[in-house]
Amino acid sequence: MRVAFLVNDLALSGGMSVIMHHAHRLSELDGWEVTLVLVRDPDAATWHGHAHSSRVRTRTREQALAEHYDVAVATWWETTFSLFEMSADRYAYFVQSLEDRFYLHDDAGRLGAGLTLDLPVSFITEAHWIADTLAAVRPDAPCHLVPNGIDKDVFTPLDSAPVNDSGPLRILIEGSPSSWFKHVHAAIDAAAAMTEPRHVTVVTGHPKGLGDVAADAVVGPLSQAELADAYARCDVVLKLSSVEGMFGPPLEGFHCGATCVVTPVTGHDEYVEHGYNGLITEWDDLRGTARQLDLLARDRALLGVLRENALATARAWPSWDQTSPLMAEALETIARAPQPHTTATSARLLADLRAGIEIYDSHLRDRADYARRAMRFERRIRRVLSTRPVRLLLALRRFRAVRFAARPLRPLTARLRRLAT
């Protein structure tokens, strides 16, 4: 079985880590050849700390065009641009989230990512909610559920949850500050709003982008082993994401004896149960989240119960060695099945493209109307500023006595400037 996973690069990320775990284990199977096809600049072809097998091949897009595969698999919406350039018997799409949600409503990437779900492919996904959504929007397309595993060699479940009876509540916040949907700063603010003693550690691969924040420690980027140590030193993983596929950090924290406070983000229900192994907070509720953290800081018995139950959840969760055979089975099934028909998918793709164009056309008309109104207002201001009385008044600003006398009017003029812009 020759399989190609199309990736943008090999930079460290949750999604790339999932791909690497599957590629590593598939490459160890007899008769399997696994290739990572880099559809972008080959200068990015470094492993960046991912666990990998020497049997996993890497190819640039140009090199891969000369090869043939049993199944070619897109792994991100942009990689679908190269998917059908590959010579392959079958084509698949590994969907780790509905990727249009990573973009704001007026971003062109939102339309592009959404349209790729109309392609004539078989789907593979990692979470029940994604499988259910794909079944609803693409009932004609096969969809294979392959849950994410956990590297039990790194995140080894503890025998019992650690006890923190009296020290400050130790909170770990993980994520990239440059990703708006991770809401890292909101999590930091929620922890800072607590009234009980706490110790906050922020783990991020981009510490320089974090800025000056109310945290006791900022660490990263970390290897997986270093991340496991960080989880083991915390009581609570705080994660306030608004977009996820099947987020890993709270589950990794469970293996290391921590509980979690999370939003009801898509994928949380794969393993988080409110009041059993973690707490679920409301959206955009800084004070409510702080109160939940304060509750855990005050009620150490509750904290202990949540941590023990989180550990029980972790023990029952499968390892990558248990889930990767499901990926192998999905790929073998796709290779044997007939290629999805293109007529229905083409019609759906064009219908969605038309709807997207109409939406963006409406956005552009709104912006053009706003620009026209702004220009009319600006022309009025220019006419007023060009009058002789106003020019004389502005010329008086060079006198210190005039500036001193006008100081009480500064709040008013500042407000007028804000209104004008």
pLDDT tens for residues 235-244?
Answer: 999 999 999 9
Q: What is the pTM of this model?
A: 0.80
* Measured distance CA(413)–CA(10) in Å, rounded: 52
* pLDDT band of 44, cuts 50, 70, 90: very low
Inform me whether the pLDDT recorded for 276 exceeds 80.
Answer: yes
Measured CA to CA in angstroms, residue 188 lies from 18, 331, 384 at distances of 27, 41, 47
Among 176-180, 259-263, 359-363, 386-390, which range has the highest average pLDDT? 259-263
According to DSSP, the residues that pair with 2 across neighbouring strands are 33
pLDDT tens for residues 53-64?
Answer: 568 999 999 999
* Measured distance CA(323)–CA(251) in Å, rounded: 16
pLDDT tens for residues 76-106?
Answer: 999 999 999 999 999 999 999 999 889 887 7
**DSSP type of residue 421:** -
Inform me whether the pLDDT recorded for 142 exceeds 90.
Answer: yes
**Runs of H (alpha helix) within 317-409:** 320-336, 342-385, 388-395, 400-405
User: Between helices 388-395 and 342-385, what is the axis angle to 10°?
Assistant: 80
* pLDDT band of 22, cuts 50, 70, 90: very high
Domains located in the chain, CATH noted: 2-149+323-340 (3.40.50.2000), 169-317 (3.40.50.2000)
